[in-house]
Structure 1
């Protein structure tokens, strides 16, 4: 099986690929892909902000070597990537003071599979969680309450069966269904280590009596409680597996299977959740993806990543998280124009753009004739988790939340 190794946002490289595979990579926006005009059968590939692994198979496409696997390695260490993921999913989880257990793996997909399997193993060690599930059925005996309207509509004049509704104490609950779906999803992905796959098969057997989720349907809801506390870390990581970018479907006989993280979204989620956590217990509040309008007629919508509100409920600061500066000479100007629009609409004198540390230092710009200051901050993702969270706390003070760091 041919394997193509790419690095997030690294320079483009040339690779010999079947044309169908190259077109599929481009159409699914997995990487930037274009045919090399000077070398037929060769494609120029460049990874963007999506990291992970995908396998592309073209049955009968003339390639005797089977599917083509594309692996995209992030620039940040794998353990740090999963700290960002874990914290954004559940700031009070086990990764607050330590990193998600990815074992010795240095690639995204093996690390993800290992981390999820370990958390599910911890969740299931005391047996499957049980809970009450609302059930409606036709029965020969009365159990729970009779659904009178359904009984009349469906069985008018008949004594049996009886339409009843009751709460059943069972293992077939949302939490177990989500874990089963995550296990099955991982087992279908290419590149899961053999030992991890073996343990996942054992977990699937433990969850065999749980109803599978219907593909394409929303995940069943669950509420954190004392009873399911041992499940919560596993459920948060399982959600990441099930909601992540997964290019499984393609037209015709072409098959794409794999799992990719969007580093743009991951960075945005981490920054905004961490800012909100800094404010917890204070007189300030933070709103994520806060909807507003630019114009007086409310026709132009905008959703800043983070809006800081003061004690009286008025906006105090606005921030947007930007994972990567696209210009070699510094931050993109378009980000400044976007932030200026946010500040103008919200009536704020300052706005804050937060980048992953790149090739530009902290900068501040005062807009002519407007008196608005636009700040550009850089977070160093190579720092240890505690230091990174301290940087977020310092940033919140810069934004006007007068909290002790």
Structure 2
């Protein structure tokens, strides 16, 4: 791997680049990422300026290696723990402090994949029956009569055979070989790169990373391959360049990059926290935001539909009836400033569309470094109360169990307010 100049910056921070540090291909890639809202590249009189948005990770360019560290809400030592929690996978031993070296997020994810792959190698790779056609000096499996007659013209010195043997060259293992190869190109630690190279040699590989991703999307887990699920989770993260199904809104870079959108990560964290908190109080999450969601019709163009990040169905005051509580994840500093008017309007719409008519309530969950806080906004008009918005700040240095308890306290408060609208 050629030496690349390291460029380190923080989330929402910027760094200058010399004119010759970016190749034309790099400029095109950065502009593509800018179109996805990951970062901003601007031309200056003395060169370039690269600014990160709500994105962390590593981007390996032709001449520089950009490392974006989390600065806003989730501290570096907690990033891997919260990422594993959002993905529903065990927290890897690599969930260590970000500041221990220049390795950064990409090396941590690569090490998490390596840890799971080494475990699979110790346990023994899964094997399954694979059909193959080959030419052998002796008969194995079944003789391919048609091939033998048309290609060997009756000669028996070489036999065209069909075999059906148990092999490790199956998709469960191929996707891991492809992911290990992708991780090798991102790793900055020589020791980690050496271990990745050794592990990659023990796994078969897919023809292309795209083929491996298609195989991951088709994978169904049974008792035979359920032990592969954590390794496949980290493999999907690496092969998508940071994009994860049901986690990120974009697909990241096509190669040589591992960028994680922090707002999407926070939404995934809040969805799981809210679902677990509701389960402890007899509630559940409503898949898909309760049917068609809130729809706007009659405007120019096609109708628009929007839904809250999470919709919880909770037991109502009357036995056998339930109420709905819309929850929205906001990756914003609402511990430092007030809730914006746009977000107030959005949550009022959610509460009017889902919550009980006489007790319209919604919940905002935002990250709050250094502590936990809760406040309640009451929105009133000339005719009285329009809605109640709970604003909950979750300490990202706390454990998920503690955060679940904080959300549970809001749900208890919501259940204590009777409402006439009953929901299934």
Q: TM-score range by the shorter chain?
A: 0.7 to 0.9
Cα offset, 1:289, TM superposition: 4.8
Deviations 1:45-71 (A, max 9, x none): 3221110111222xxxxxxxxx12211
Cα offset, 1:108, TM superposition: 0.8
Give the secondary-structure state (helix, strand or coil) at the position aligned to 1:236. Answer: helix
Deviations 1:114-158 (A, max 9, x none): 12111211122122112457x69899x9x99xxxxxxxxxxxxxx
Tell me if the contact between 2:77 and 2:97 (Cα under 8 Å) persists in the aligned partners. Answer: no
- 1:351 and 2:344 matched: no
Give the secondary-structure state (helix, strand or coil) at the position aligned to 2:256. Answer: strand
Aligned to 1:148: none
User: Residues 46 and 396 of structure 1: is their aligned pair in 2 closer, same or farther, counting only changes over 3 Å?
Assistant: farther
Aligned to 1:364: 376
Aligned to 1:2: 5
Out of 332, 336, 359, which is 2:340 matched to? 332
Deviations 1:158-198 (A, max 9, x none): xxxxxxx9986442333212212221221222x43111111
- 1:236 and 2:233 matched: yes
Q: Between Structure 1 and Structure 2, how many residues are aligned?
A: 358
User: Residues 379 and 130 of structure 1: is their aligned pair in 2 closer, same or farther, counting only changes over 3 Å?
Assistant: same
Cα offset, 1:102, TM superposition: 3.7
Distance 2:378 2:50 in 1: 39
Aligned to 2:119: 122
Distance 1:247 1:295 in 2: 29
Aligned-residue CA RMSD in angstroms? 3.9
Cα offset, 1:248, TM superposition: 4.4
Aligned to 2:149: none
Higher helix share: 2
Out of 75, 82, 85, which is 1:84 matched to? 82
Structure 1 residues 161-310: aligned runs within 5 Å = 169-189=166-186, 191-208=187-204, 211-213=206-208, 215=210, 218-220=214-216, 221-243=218-240, 244-245=242-243, 248=253, 257-280=256-279, 283-287=282-286, 289-290=288-289, 292-295=292-295, 299-310=303-314
Distance 1:365 1:87 in 2: 30
Give the secondary-structure state (helix, strand or coil) at the position aligned to 2:196. Answer: helix
User: Residues 123 and 388 of structure 1: is their aligned pair in 2 closer, same or farther, counting only changes over 3 Å?
Assistant: farther
Distance 1:197 1:313 in 2: 57
Give the secondary-structure state (helix, strand or coil) at the position aligned to 1:112. Answer: helix
Distance 1:281 1:22 in 2: 50
TM-score normalised to structure 2 length: 0.71
Deviations 1:253-301 (A, max 9, x none): xxx7311111111111011012223344764210355253324869331
Cα offset, 1:22, TM superposition: 5.5
Distance 1:203 1:74 in 2: 29
User: Residues 386 and 305 of structure 1: is their aligned pair in 2 closer, same or farther, counting only changes over 3 Å?
Assistant: same
Distance 2:179 2:329 in 1: 29
Distance 1:284 1:45 in 2: 45
Cα offset, 1:73, TM superposition: 0.4
Distance 2:96 2:400 in 1: 18
Give the secondary-structure state (helix, strand or coil) at the position aligned to 1:224. Answer: coil
Cα offset, 1:16, TM superposition: 2.8
Aligned to 1:16: 18
Cα offset, 1:308, TM superposition: 0.7
Cα offset, 1:238, TM superposition: 1.9
Aligned to 2:157: none
Tell me if the contact between 1:54 and 1:70 (Cα under 8 Å) persists in the aligned partners. Answer: yes
- 1:34 and 2:46 matched: no
Aligned to 2:56: 51
- 1:394 and 2:409 matched: yes
For structure 2, list consecutive stretches of 5 or more residues without a partner in the other structure. Answer: 143-161, 244-250, 418-424
Tell me if the contact between 1:122 and 1:230 (Cα under 8 Å) persists in the aligned partners. Answer: no
Out of 368, 371, 375, which is 2:390 matched to? 375
After TM superposition, the structure 1 stretch with the greater mean CA deviation from structure 2, 27-36 or 265-274, is 27-36
Tell me if the contact between 1:293 and 1:300 (Cα under 8 Å) persists in the aligned partners. Answer: no
User: Residues 310 and 207 of structure 1: is their aligned pair in 2 closer, same or farther, counting only changes over 3 Å?
Assistant: same
